[in-house]
Amino acid sequence: MYSSGIDIKILYLAKCKSWPKMVSLIEKAVKELGLYAQISTQEIKNRKEAEELGFLGSPTVKVNGIDLEPQATGKTFLS
């Protein structure tokens, strides 16, 4: 986690066409709100990686390690 602010991670599949727009929207929101955030992206390359990271769909946004999708809590890839 980013020690002095908010850690935002966008997880995505290479075939996903909407993840760049998601990054843009998050960057805009962070700037407009005057927040200090570290924004990073990570391509999910296989099922094992998806399961380890709690990736349920593309794109997935996690803030300080918590999935923004409330239904994601406790689920695993393709569950």
Higher pLDDT, 28 or 77: 28
pTM of the model: 0.83
Q: What is the pLDDT of residues 8-64, one digit of tens each?
A: 999 999 999 999 999 999 999 999 999 999 999 999 999 999 989 989 889 999 999
Three-state SS annotation for the chain: CCCCCEEEEEEECCCCCCHHHHHHHHHHHHHHHCCCEEEEEEECCCHHHHHHHCCCCCCEEEECCEECCHHHCCCCCCC
Of residues 78, 22, 57, the one with CA closest to residue 8? 22
* Band of residue 5 on the pLDDT scale cut at 50, 70, 90: confident
pLDDT of residue 2: 47
- Give phi and psi for 13, each to the nearest 5: -95, 145
Q: Which fold has domain 6-72?
A: Glutaredoxin (3.40.30)
